Structure 1
Amino acid sequence: MTKTFLLSVAFTALLLAGCSREEPPRSESTQAEADTQAPSPGSPKAGSEQATIEASIIPAVTIDGEARQTLRERMVTYNAPQVSVAVYRNGALDWTKGYGEGTDAETLFQAASLSKVVAATGIVALASELGVSLDEDISGDLEGVDQSKLNPEGVVITLRMLLSHTNGATVSGFPGYAAGEAVPTNLEVVTGSERTNTDPVTIAANPEGKFSYAGGGYQLAQLWAEQASGEDFTALMDRLILNPVGMKQSTFAQPLSADMASGNVAPAYEGNGDPVEGGWHTYPEQAAAGLWTTPEDYGRFVMALIGAMNGESGTGISPEVATEVVRPVSEDYGLGIGVEMSEWTDGGEIVLRHSGSNKGYKTYFEAWPERGDAIVVMTGADGAYPLNADIVRTAKQAYGWPMGPVRTRARHDLDEDALEQLSGAYIMAADGEQYFTIERDGQDLTLTTRRGAVYRMVPVEEYVFIDPNDGEEAAFKTDGNTVTVSLSGTVFEQAPEDRQSD
């Protein structure tokens, strides 16, 4: 997994911290019973790519002999009541659809970190407008900031480094603010205050220019943009990007206006299928995570960026700005966007991509500039990261987009005694804490974390299991007295019976 995909979190980290890439317990109550098709482009034709995607989703690993789920069944698996997809081909919209009760193609979702691509493009456009080099030191232009706290080592701060995550900025992500909570200003987010729920942003020396993902750097760039332009970020992005590109369903407004909030908005859901209290969180961190949009509208931006990078005028983004945005700075990351060469085409082919994760929202886009093709997926559920990957994987096969081979594994028959032997509570020897339990489930095992996330484990070799939903492998070892399991390189030990809790 490359850093630009940013689609999933290491399995071990989830066990230790209970992060958001959890597969929640199954719940039929979350099934999308009423799909609302956008008036255009209409229902899928039999045999079309859209129909194929809806009918048979490809998981991370297909177990031989097992039927694949439909998209709606997959939504139930991940407790994702709402999903929205848009596909562009040859520079134009191929189809778009919202899935789930009350969801249509015009339903707004939080774009989460997909906001960074749009924000970076707008900030680069502003720098061009003002004649500011992306490589000049802007530290002296930041008002209301104590440089001794922000930048104690006196590091040069540039827009290029901030937007490419190479400036040594801190604060990787933001949890947002729940309904009813006081929402700080962006200046407070950067400098810290009693109203913020994250640490102040700081800059550390990074002479090698190593990539270190930091939403905090984007908030520093946002602060510069607001102060340099004299405009609030919502209005600035409207002027520079959203209006010129024609993103009529999009806004960086945080919080949403009362009229918009009471309209066609997808509410956020927890990993267990419960709604997020108050509908969603507010993100004053607009550049890093604050865009509200639809997959169709976001795809419109992607098509404008692709057109501009190919030298087209009149897209709403200048070719000069697009060139800066998609120019890799550190390995395979440009300014707010992953820029890679596909290993699955002869001679390579550029792929643009990014993922996003806000409270109750998971998003992803991938685009192929040489083809003018792109897919944008937005879901309103904390456990929907794997679902996004499943939809994109299925679309790649349906459209013939570059992709690796579909992974398949044969089931290995393991006797009942062996399955029972592996069942129990598991601890980490270093701290003695219990992190998960494993139970026999027919011919499979089920792993349940201490936070309630449930994972299916299918035997594929002697004492080797795989979760077909995310492809993670678990390798057990037993010497007759002790059972251990290795997950993503971390070893857990079966607790003695007298240490196993309910």
Structure 2
Amino acid sequence: MKRRKLGFIKVVLLVSLVLNFIQCETQESLTKKRIKSVEQGLLREVYLKGTRPEKLSLFDRLQFYRVPGVSLAVMDGFQIEWARGYGTKNIAQAEPVDENTLFQAGALSQVLATLATLSLVDEGLIELDQPVNTYLRRWKMPIYSVNRQRRLTIRDILTHSAGFYEIEFQGYTPGDSLPTLVDILEGKSPARNPKLYPVYPPGTQRVYSEAGFVLLQLLLEDVTGQDFAQLVKERVIQPLHLANTTFECPLPPALQARAAQGYDRQGQPLPGGARIFPQQAAAGLWTTPTDLLHLSLALIKMARGEERDVISPLLIREMLTPRLGLQAMAFLVEGSGDDLRFYLEGYNPGFSAFLVVYPSRGQGVAIMANSDNGLYLSEEILRAVAANYNWPHFQPEEKTPYRLPVEIYQEYVGRYEVNPQYHLDVRYEDYYLIIHPTGQVPTRFYAESKSTFFAVDPYIQIQFLRDRQGRVTGLVLRQKRTRVEAKKVS
């Protein structure tokens, strides 16, 4: 009897092992299939009505956008399913990008700065709704007409409603003299920005400005007596086990060896190397897509009360609650229920970063590239991930082209000057406009109204301008973060 029982147990164990093996094999096979589908399924932002969205190769699009390298990590079922690198982190040395390659994260720096701030709130060292001058020591926020009635608070800074004018810092070349935080706030040399001052009453409207995070960095250092990089390391990076994340500048040798080189729109390396940001809280972070998803998973768990590694659940939920429009603390938050998502994109010269997470679904993606063109590529990758993981958003948009009377097209034909060295030559061809920028390939534009046209690959919009007499005087070109004006000269 005992022998039969032992035999039965062995059979059960064997079946269990086989089933586990099959399950692991099935998941591994599914992941490989998804990776290949993403790699071969990038999607443009728009497609023409009457056609189907064309699936594109990630490798081809790297070349199309002149992006040397890109790294991405995908989260599904509340775990990081896969992470891959593509292309090169340094063209001259032919070093490949992998999942451990570090990139500058731009505005995603503000997420870690926010968490460090909330950790101080959690300890009772500061309060979100107290005026910042309560805590500042080295510099005080001046009183202007716009902030006389309502003083600037920490919460205002974290939600980009501090009232500062819009500004994104461009960093400094290695070897440059670096300004102090007070120099930056005052607009004094060697700072390269004007004086930072409010133009709106605090708390009244959302205007993206990195100025507030310079002030926040100064405040955190004044309150704790610590250098910002060390402060965030102790309060956020180490507790969340973000092994490939740092604000240290210059990078430690071990991390420098894994850091990507930044490249401009033409595929040329940034002169002097990656930019240095004394404005660390605003734009000084180096990290990887995998660490960004580890951070996102920690936020989800802390919000649910499953972890208290850094901050209480109440404060994390407050962080992820929109205050003005879609703007929460650091992140933009949109949707509700299972469709709620928090997201943010970052840009530094030569680098781009994008993060989107569905906290209720346990899904998300982080994408980082070493190019000024990185966001264009990242959005195509995002659409491929969304399609393969059945996300409800980030699908290509169908566009309807219109046929205008030929004489309207003819009015737009001519040369448009951006500057003496850069022109846009416009010609008519079979109910399209062909626009040929200096040094680039001609692109076909379709009409979507009498004065606006669009190109599909890449998606670009152009609006033609007229004077009071109805004569065409120029055009405005828009492509994501780029806006170019050109005057008609012939």
- TM-score, normalization by structure 1: 0.78
Partner of 2:397: 407
2:283 aligned partner: 289
Aligned to 1:76: 63
Distance 1:454 1:186 in 2: 44
Q: Is the 8 A contact 2:358 2:364 kept in 1?
A: yes
Q: Does structure 1 retain, via aligned residues, the 8 Å contact 2:162–2:203?
A: no
1:91 aligned to 2:78?
yes
1:191 aligns with 2:186: yes
Q: Which amino acid aligns with 1:356?
A: G
Cα distance in structure 2, aligned partners of 1:184 and 1:439: 45
The aligned amino acid for 1:266 is A
* CA distance in 2: counterparts of 1:217 and 1:151, whole angstroms: 18
1:236 aligns with 2:231: yes
Residues 1:482 and 1:205: Cα distance change in structure 2 (over 3 Å): closer
1-side partners of 2:101 and 2:486: how far apart? 46
The aligned counterpart of 1:365 is 355
Give a deviation string over 1:456-490, Cα, whole Å, max 9, x none: 33436697642214544446799xx9657765799
The code of the aligned residue for 2:120 comes to L
* Aligned residue type for 1:59: R
The answer on whether the counterparts of 1:44 and 1:50 sit within 8 Å (CA) in structure 2 is no
Match of 2:250 among 255, 260, 278: 255
Give 1:302-317 correspondences, 5 Å limit: 302-317=296-311
Q: 1:321 aligns with which of 315, 334, 340?
A: 315
Q: Does 1:54 align with 2:42?
A: no
My pick for the range that moved more, 330-339 or 462-471, is: 462-471
1:51-73 residue CA offsets vs partner (Å, 9 max, x unmatched) = 11101210011343785420111
Q: Which residue of 2 aligns with 1:157?
A: 152
For residues 446 and 256 of structure 1, the distance between their equivalents in structure 2, rounded to whole angstroms, comes to: 46
Contact 1:57 1:390 survives alignment (8 Å): yes
Amino acid at match of 2:456: P
Q: Determine which of 240, 258, 264 is the counterpart of 1:264.
A: 258
Structure 1 residue 226: Cα displacement: 0.7
* 1:386 aligns to 2:373 (yes or no): no
Say which is worse superposed, 161-170 or 243-252, in terms of deviation: 161-170
| Equivalence for 1:3 | none
Match of 1:221 among 191, 216, 221: 216
Aligned pair partner of 2:241 in 225, 246, 256: 246
- 1:382 is displaced (CA, Å) by 0.6
Q: Specify the SS of the correspondent of 2:298.
A: helix
Instruction: Measure the CA separation in 1 of the matches of 2:376 and 2:357.
Output: 19
Which one of the candidate residues 136, 144, 165 is aligned to 2:138?
144
- Structure 2: gaps spanning 5 or more residues: 1-26, 89-95
Specify the SS of the correspondent of 1:245.
Answer: coil
CA contact (8 A) 2:184 2:195 kept: yes
Tell me the equivalent position of 2:13. Answer: none
1:467 maps to which of 430, 436, 455: 455
User: What is the identity, as a one-letter code, of the residue corresponding to 2:38?
Assistant: I
Summarize the Cα distance change of 1:363–1:221 in structure 2 as closer, same or farther, 3 Å threshold.
same
Q: Give the distance between the partners of 1:349 and 1:310, measured in 2 at CA.
A: 17
Judge which range, 440-449 or 205-214, deviates more: 440-449
Q: Which amino acid aligns with 2:64?
A: T
Tell me how far apart the structure 2 counterparts of residues 483 and 274 of structure 1 sit (CA, whole Å): 36
SS in 1 for 2:239: helix
Alignment of 1:348-497 (within 5 A): 349-403=339-393, 405-409=395-399, 422-426=412-416, 436-439=423-426, 445-447=433-435, 456-459=443-446, 465-469=453-457, 471-474=459-462, 487=476, 495=488
Shift of 1:282: 0.4
Alignment identity in percent?
27
CA distance in 2 between counterparts of 1:322 and 1:426 reads 51
Q: How many residues align?
A: 445
Task: Find out whether 1:176 has 2:171 as its counterpart.
Answer: yes
Deviation at 1:200, TM superposition (A): 2.7
Deviation at 1:170, TM superposition (A): 3.7
Instruction: Say which SS state the counterpart of residue 94 (structure 1) adopts.
Output: strand
Cα RMSD over matched residues? Answer: 3.6
2:326 is aligned with 1:332 = yes
Cα distance change on mapping 1:421 and 1:211 into 2, 3 Å: closer
Of residues 114, 119, 129, the one that matches 2:113 is: 119
- Measured in 1, the distance between the counterparts of 2:460 and 2:428 equals 18
Q: Which has the higher contact order (CA 8 A, sep 6+)?
A: 1
* Residue of structure 1 equivalent to 2:99: 105
Given the superposition, is the C-alpha separation of residues 143 and 374 from structure 1 closer, same or farther in structure 2, using an over 3 Å criterion?
same
Distance 2:412 2:457 in 1: 21
Query: How far did residue 416 of structure 1 move?
Result: 11
- Higher mean C-alpha displacement, 438-447 vs 182-191: 438-447
Matched with 2:9 is none
Show CA shifts across 1:151-207 (max 9, x none): 995451211011111121245210100122112222322233211111232234516
Amino acid in structure 1 at the alignment position of 2:35: Q
Q: Which stretch shows the higher mean deviation, 217-226 or 191-200?
A: 191-200
Choose 437-446 or 312-321, whichever is displaced more.
Answer: 437-446
Cα pair 1:424 1:494 within 8 Å, conserved:
no
Could you tell me how far apart the structure 2 residues matched to 1:163 and 1:243 are? 22
Distance (whole Å) between structure 1 residues aligned to residue 313 and residue 398 of structure 2: 43
- SS at 2:277 equivalent: coil
Where 1:244 maps in the other structure, the secondary structure is coil
Query: Match of 2:313, as an amino acid?
Result: P
Aligned residue identity for 1:233 = F
Aligned-partner SS, 1:181: coil
Deviation per CA, 1:441-463, whole angstroms, max 9, x where unpaired?
9876554557x677733436697
SS at match of 2:123: helix
